Structure formats: C-alpha cells, structure tokens
Amino acid sequence: MKKRIVLFLSLVLTACLLSGCAYLPFYGLTNMLEMELGSDNGVKDNGDTVTISRELYEKYQQYDKLIEMQEIAEYYFYEEVDTNALIEGAALGLLTGLDDPYSFYYSPEDYAELWEDDEGEYAGVGIQISGNYATGLCTISRVFDNGPAKEAGVHKGDILYKVEDLYVDAYNLQDAVDIMRGTPGTDVNVTFLRNGEEISFVLTRAQITVNRVEAMMLADGIGYICLYEFAGDCAAKFEEALNSVVSQGARGVIIDLRDNPGGWVNDAESIGDLFLDAGTLCYLEDRDGKRQYYKTKNGRADVELVLLLNEHSASSSEILAGALKDRADATIVGVQSYGKGIVQNVLPIGNDGSGMQITTAQYYTPNGNKVHKIGITPDVEIALPEGDNGMYEFGDLNDVQLNRALEVMQEKLAK
C-alpha cells in the first residue's frame, strides 16, 4: 500500500502541472495537501492517516489504471521492478497524450543538459541539427569551426542518418544527441546521407564552444550579421556585432536567419528592440484568447534592413522577422519560413531536477498575422538552385540567396 501511495502521489504531481499554465505557480499534490491541512477544503490530518474530500478522491481516482499497472508489473514481471523507472516512464508518456511534438518531459539529466546547451559549451561532435517533423529528416544546419565533425568533413546539408545503432528521425533526435554527447576523447560512430549516399565517420568527442553570431562588412555601407540561434548571450553578441558594422559605416544591415531554429522569445525581444521604437514585437494568445504582449522601446538604429529566411527559419526567427517586416520596413529575402508560430514554456517539476516543456500559446506579428503552419512570406523569393545545399563559407557571394539580398539592399540604399 505504501508503494501504491508513493506512485499515486508522483503521478498526480506530474499531472497537476497540466491544469495550469507557465505564468502561474505550480503545486504538486504533496504541497497542495500540506496547504489544505487544517482548512475547510476537505483535507484532514488524522495522525497516521490523511482524509481527503470525495471531490479530491474522485479527481485522483482517474490515475487508478496506472497504479494497477504498476502493481501488476511488480507482481508478474520476471525481474525486480524499479518503481522510480516506472514513474519516469509514466511522466514521459503522460505528455504524449497532448499529441504535440513540442510538449515533453525532461529527465533530470536532460533538464541539466538543456541549460548546459544554453550556456554554449558542451562535449560532443560539433554539429547543429534541424529536425523536420513532416519529413522526419534531421538536417545538419551548421558545423562548428574546429570541432570533430568539421575536421572529419561533415557538411552543412548532410542528413543525420544513424548514430551507433540508432536510425535517426525527428522523433528520436534527442536520443541521438544524447549518444553523441559524452566524455572528450571518446569515439562515436555517426552515419550521414549526402546526395543519397551513406557516409560514415568515427568522431572523437571534444569540448565544443558555440559562437552564435558572426558579422562582417559585405560591401561599402552594408553590414552582414548571421544569427544562428536565440540562446545564451546571443542578444549581447548581436548588439556588439551591430555596433561594429555601424562603426565601419554600415547604412544597411543584412540579418541572416537561415537555418536558425529559434530559441528564447526574450532574445528576439532584445534584438528587435535594436531596430524598433516603442510598440509591439509580437503578442501571444492562449486557448482562452488571453493575450500577452512583448514590447520594444524607443531608440532604434538608423539603418535599412534586409532579412534572409529559409525553410528552416523557425520560432523566434519568425517572431523577429515578422516584427521587422511589419514595423521597420525590413525586406524579407529567401523562401517561406518554417511556420512554428507557437511558443513553449520550460519549467522545473518535482524535487529531483526534472522538468518539462509545454506549448502554451500561439504568437502573432504586430499586424496580427498568424505564423503557425504558415510561416513568413518573403518579399523577394529566391530558392537555392537544385543540388545546392547552402554549404558556403561565411559571406561567400556565390551563395545566390545572400547575393540577391545584397542586391536588394543596394537598391534600398540607392533610393
């Protein structure tokens, strides 16, 4: 009976998170019962027992199926059962019922690794991967300089096909990433697809430092800033890059958001604030129609803007692009963006270091344009030629999309 109660409390603790949203405090069952003890809300402490109201009893009775499954497993399974592992599995499976690939459970190890990634340093092979849930394919969107993958000859545009014995798709991508992470100096077998052919490497894991911003002067009066993701210190580094090109005489700035999978909305807000006066960056709308506005303040940089987007530009990339298109007369060059117009909140749960991510709202551009499953439409559409995987050195004008963005900026500055 004691095990039954422990499992019951743990499962309900996880489930209770679904009844609120990330803007509100969360309380597990244990904390909730402690707050209700001695009150008139149907929870009474009777010494060795706790009595709860029928309303609470009926609420939590829905988890009886899980408790019954746990007891059957403990009685019949051919090996000793790890109850904690069952609870972890139940927590993992609970959020699959939302049928949302962006809402999921983090084990304590995964949750700690999430924040390690945000700091921009980790031990691995040095690749950034974009998973497409429509096709299942996981495309290499960036190969970090001086990393094992770069040195071995992995290219941007390669498809991550297999890691050790795991065949990789968008749904088990995190498992593949976990395998590629590890102790510096140890090896991992990774197979990629390039032009339909398998290419296998034995990569030696190393300490990776992620640079999220690169900048240069692309032509007279035109600066070029590439932002790879909205994480870590990207906003501060972006502002440094902007100040650098402006100090070199940039009157126009091309912002490259191709293959940028997004990240933290607050980073998009900080970067958008550099180019916008007081007003709306975007607004979120939850299922009840309640809105939350992200705002910018006065003090915009006096530069013309061109933004580069592709089919992998998502999330905060689309927030920034939508705001600058609506409010800063930015010209969008490239192809239709990914269309991830929903936002997630990440929060800790329990007391063991675990966490969860859950989709809480859709977002809209300042002019009220929906982005989810639509994307940002370019003003100047140009796709890469067939067979061109975009594998260019930074600032290489053989890149037809970047070259077209430069032409568009030159036209804007000539007016």
Q: At residue 9, what are phi and psi to the nearest 5 degrees? A: -65, -40
Query: Of these residues, 10, 103, 270, 315, which one is catalytic?
Result: 315
Residue 292 and residue 23: Cα distance in Å, rounded?
10
How many CA atoms lie less than 13 Å away from 143 in the CB half-sphere? 21
Query: Of these residues, 267, 326, 337, 354, which one is catalytic?
Result: 326
Residue 162 annotated as catalytic:
no
Cα radius of gyration (the chain): 25
Query: Of these residues, 103, 158, 267, 340, which one is catalytic?
Result: 340
Residue 150 annotated as catalytic:
no
Task: Locate 263 and state its tokens.
Answer: 């990240």
Calculate helix-pair angle for 316-327, 265-272, nearest 10 degrees. 30
Residue 315 annotated as catalytic:
yes
H-type alpha helices, 273-357: 316-327
Alpha carbon distances (Å) from 299 to 192, 274, 276, 303: 46, 7, 7, 12
Q: For the residues of 222-274, what is the DSSP string, one character each?
A: EEEEEE--B-TTHHHHHHHHHHHHHHTT-SEEEEE-TT---B-HHHHHHHHTT
For residues 128 and 227, the answer to whether their CB atoms sit within 8 Å is: no
Task: Locate 153 and state its tokens.
Answer: 């000859």
Cβ-Cβ contacts under 8 Å for 169 (sequence gap 6 or more): 131, 136, 137, 138
For residues 395 and 378, the answer to whether their CB atoms sit within 8 Å is: no
User: Which of helix, strand or coil describes residue 115?
Assistant: helix
Number of H helices, E strands in the chain: 12, 21
Residue 14 and residue 95: Cα distance in Å, rounded?
9
Partners of 105 in the beta sheet? 356
Catalytic residues: 315, 326, 340
